[in-house]
Every structure is written in C-alpha cells, then in structure tokens.
Structure 1
Amino acid sequence: MDDSGKESQKALGQFDKRFLQSLQALNQRIAKSIPTFRLPALDRIASIDWAAAQKKMDEFPQRSKEAMDVASAKGWFFAWTGSLRETYIVTDHLKSIDEEQVNEYMADHYRSRMDCLSEDLTKKFPARAVAISAAVRAHQRADKDSYTLSIPVFIAQADGMISEILGAVSALQKVDRTLMEQGAKKGETRAAHALRNKVADEEDLNYVNPILTLHNLDFLMSQRDRASTQSSGGEFSALNRHQVMHGEVSDYGTELNSLRAFSFLCFVGLHLPAFLNWKVQDNA
C-alpha cells in the first residue's frame, strides 16, 4: 500500500486546530530559548506564515463542504481517503475546475486509488471482504457486464455499512412520522437523523454534508421526483440506488457509475468512521 493508503484513517485526526496552535507555541519557545542558533528544520517551522495557515484551517470546513457539493451534484462522493495535503489539493481542484471536468477528475481520482482503498475497506470490514473484493475484481475486468455486477454490490455493502456505523435501521430510507416527532427533519434519511444525534456541531457536520443531503441527491431521488423530471422534458439518467437495487433499470453498467458507487462505499466505509472517531477523540 502507498503512503496515501496508509494515511487514509488519519486525515481527519490530523485536521485539528490545536495541532497548529501547539506548533506555533513550540516555535515561540524555541525562538526564546535558542536566539542565536537554529537547525534547518526549525528555520522551516519559523518561516511558516502562521496567520495564513490558521486562516486556511478556519476556512476549510466550508471549503470542504463546497467541494463535496460539487462532487455530489455529479453523483460522486468525495471522501478523505488520503493525506491531509492530498485532501487540500482535491478540495481546491474541485472548487476551481469547470462542471464538465468533474466526472473525469473524480474518475481518475478513484480509478488510481481503487487497490489501496479496497484494501483499507476489507481490513476495516473483514466480514464484508469477500463481497467487496469480488466487486472490485468485477470492476477491474473493465467491461459492461462486469460493471453491471460490481455496482449493486458496492451499493449494497455501503447500505449495510452506514446502518452498522450509525446504528440506524434501514439508514437510507427517509424518516417516518415517529422519528420526526423525535426531531428528525422532514424528508431526510434515517442516516442523516442518526448523524445529527451523534454530532451537534453544525460546522463539524460540513465534513460529512453528503450524508445530510442524501435525500436531495440523484442517488436517492424518489420515483415521484424522477417521474417529475421526465414529465417536464428532462431525462433522468443518473445512478440511482432504488432503480439499481429494485431492478427498475438494467443499463446502468458503465465504468463511471461503478466508480461512483465505489466512491459512495469509500465515503461510508472510510470517511464517515474516521470523522466519528475524530469527534470522539476531540470530545475526550
């Protein structure tokens, strides 16, 4: 596994304002105690523009949310599955490229990382390793028949994972009246409601915003809304969980759709647990 894969579970934990603050305090102590002699590494620390770095950190929750929104509008789930530096790069790139370039960029992103990400997933969820590995092998055979087989497995495993991680039965279903009486927002998924119950800080929830907005995405668009799109002269051709898993369509087998489904699996299986672990440590 490359360094990016090994760091996949550390990205969120690295993103902590206290880290920058402690480095800044260390540098100030060093400057006072060693005024006439500096090692090269300390010079590099001293040369950091701490105000700019802090500003970038402060802005990152919102920038990350916006980048995720750009990706999800095209059916992708941008998961923090690499180093913090890589996450910054992907975030900035998604914010700067044209809408027409998003599919190509996200496909390249997940295509080049499928081996290391699938290895991370099977290690984290050994009971699901057989299904995940089989779906990855099918995808890598790179033909329409194989994509037709990989997509529903990626979706099904992500479906099971999100219920397991958040402790929400049928997590991708919309909340019912009972949950709305308990404070759930009308129309949102049970996953979103469970996530809000675990994490109250709205700014922190920016890092997992696609979970909160699943009900508004093409991926979970209801039959009524899909029909409305078509009746108004549009054509609904996005990857849709219900259509795939309930056999309503059979022409979904493309590489892009398989990579999209894999991106959802990575978001649920790697990004979401890392985020929740970070919040537990942050509140300890």
Structure 2
Amino acid sequence: MENKRNLENLINATSAIQAAERAIQKSFMVNKQMKAFEQVQQQIILFARVYSRVANSASGIVGLSEEAMSSALIELASFGWYINLSFSMGEMKKMKQLLEEKKIQELNVFMCKVLQEDYKAFKESLVKAYPDRRQPLEAAFEAHEKGQYYLSIPVFFAQTDGICKQHTQFLFFSKEGKERGHEPKVKRWAMVEMCEGFHRTMAAGLLCNGAFQLHESLPNNLSFTRHSVLHGESSDYGTELNSMKAISLLHYVKDILER
C-alpha cells in the first residue's frame, strides 16, 4: 500500500510539474508575442509620423528642381547641417527658404526640431545596423543626452568616417591632394554609384567639402572643423547645437550609403 501511495504521489507530482511547464511555456509565448507586437506598434507609429509629414507637404513638391536642391544641400553643409531620408519635401523647402533668406538662427532651430523628432528611432536603427559599433555609438549618444558634447562630437565624427569607409572604401573626411583641389575622396565613389535621379541630388553632401571638412586657412561659417577637434586645436565646439550638427551628418551618411 505504501509503495502504491508513493507511486501515486510521484505521478501527481510529475503531472503538476508538467502542468507548470506548460503554463510557463504559454506565458513565455504570450510575452514574446507581446514584445513583437510592441515592436511592430513602434514601427507603425514611426511610419505614420513620417507619412504624415510627407502627405501634409505634398503641395510643396513642385518647384524643387534637382539643381536647386543640390545647391541648397551644398550650402546647408557649409553651416554643418545635413538632411536625411526622413525629411519631407515640405521640410526641404522650408530649409531651402531659410537658407535663401539668410535666417541661420531660425535654420538652426528648425533643423534641431526635425532631427529631434526622429532622434530615438535613428539611434536605435543605427546601433541595429552596425552592431559591431554598438559601444562607441551608445557611448556617444549617452554623452550627448547628458550634455557632454565635448565627448559626443569627436565620436560622432569618427563613426561617420568608419561607416563611410565600410560602404565606399573611403573615409568621409579624407581629401585629395592639392592637384585635385582637396576634394573629398568619397566623391570618386559617389560619381559612379550615385549618378541617377534622387540619389544624385542627395549625394551633393558627398561631392563637396562642408564646414566640418574645410582647411583652417579657408573662410568657414563654423569656428571649428573635424580636424581642429580631433587634433586639439579647438576648445569651443562643445555645444548642443554642434552635437546635433554632428548627428545630422552621421544620419545623412547612414541613409545615403544604405540606399
């Protein structure tokens, strides 16, 4: 009898364990599904925000010729700013208008506002796209969020260089010799790979030296360059505005090279 009771207890215990395992597995699957649903929901929200910006500005598409847009992007880079593929046509027109009217302070506010709207999504997508760069990227974004701009800006510059070389074999900030007018070396790649339609227009930022790339002997709208920062020749670059400009460059390079 005692053996029989022990056997029954063992069977009951086994059944209870199996029931518990099934419950845990079911809970795990529910949690996994919920996490997947939340991720999809976040993507839908991001898409809706971007789509809304594009839809609301549809009437502004007319009048932005390829040549005019390229010129605007080159001038924008002369102030250390770059757009990305999340910009709507309306936002591009607004940027161009502010440049034409020489309202640079308003341009700074406008660019910061647009970039802040996609900041979180960009940060997450960048780290996901380049997992081997996770540590320096997360450190740079953390420094930016803590107001430690003297730390964030050099890393944003370095990662821009690295990501550009990863796609093109050229560092973003590397330039040709004097005989070729100190043009960006990445221009060689862009002239071959970015030669059609919208991509050719967006490639304007790869074809010229923006404010971050200019030689110290040349006039510049900024008080610093990438060279002066990394070589310790500048000590006044650590502002939120300048860090946002460095982020805009990193965002531009990611988008344009992952086309």
On whether the aligned pair clears a TM of 0.5, the verdict is yes
2:157·2:226 contact (CA, 8 Å) conserved in 1? yes
- Gap change, CA 1:208 and 1:152, over 3 Å in 2: same
Q: Identify unmatched segments of 5+ residues in structure 1.
A: 12-51, 230-234, 275-284
Measured after TM superposition, the shift of residue 70 of structure 1 is 4.3
**Structure 2 residue aligned with 1:120, among 114, 118, 125?**
125
1:223-262 deviation per Cα after TM superposition (whole angstroms, max 9, x unaligned) = 232xxx4xxxxx8643411011111112210000000001
**Structure 1 residue aligned with 2:245, among 260, 263, 273?**
260
| Structure number with higher relative contact order (C-alpha < 8 Å, ≥ 6 residues apart) | 1
1:117·1:266 contact (CA, 8 Å) conserved in 2? yes
- Look up the match of 1:219: 212
* Partner secondary structure for residue 233 of structure 2: coil
Residue 102 (1) aligns with residue 99 (2): no
- Look up the match of 1:242: 227
- Look up the match of 1:92: 93
In the aligned structure 2, how far is the partner of 1:210 from the partner of 1:91?
Answer: 14
In the aligned structure 2, how far is the partner of 1:113 from the partner of 1:203?
Answer: 21
TM-score by length of 2: 0.69
**Structure 2 residue aligned with 1:191, among 186, 193, 208?**
186
* Rg larger for: 2
Amino acid aligned to 1:270: D
* Partner secondary structure for residue 165 of structure 2: helix
1:63·1:91 contact (CA, 8 Å) conserved in 2? no
Identity of aligned residues (%): 25
Amino acid aligned to 1:148: Y
* Partner secondary structure for residue 217 of structure 2: helix
In the aligned structure 2, how far is the partner of 1:113 from the partner of 1:131?
Answer: 20
In the aligned structure 1, how far is the partner of 2:107 from the partner of 2:45?
Answer: 21
- Gap change, CA 1:70 and 1:3, over 3 Å in 2: farther
In the aligned structure 2, how far is the partner of 1:58 from the partner of 1:204?
Answer: 18
Measured after TM superposition, the shift of residue 2 of structure 1 is 5.1
In the aligned structure 2, how far is the partner of 1:137 from the partner of 1:250?
Answer: 21
Measured after TM superposition, the shift of residue 7 of structure 1 is 8.8
**Structure 1 residue aligned with 2:81, among 67, 76, 81?**
76
TM-score by length of 1: 0.64
RMSD in angstroms over aligned alpha carbons?
3.2
- After superposition, residues 1-284 of structure 1 pair within 5 angstroms as 1=42, 3=44, 5=46, 56=61, 59-80=64-85, 82=86, 86-97=87-98, 98=101, 99-100=103-104, 101-142=106-147, 146-168=148-170, 170-176=171-177, 185-201=180-196, 204-214=199-209, 217-225=210-218, 229=219, 237-274=222-259
In the aligned structure 2, how far is the partner of 1:60 from the partner of 1:121?
Answer: 30
Count of residues paired in the alignment: 209
Measured after TM superposition, the shift of residue 198 of structure 1 is 2.3
2:176·2:183 contact (CA, 8 Å) conserved in 1? yes
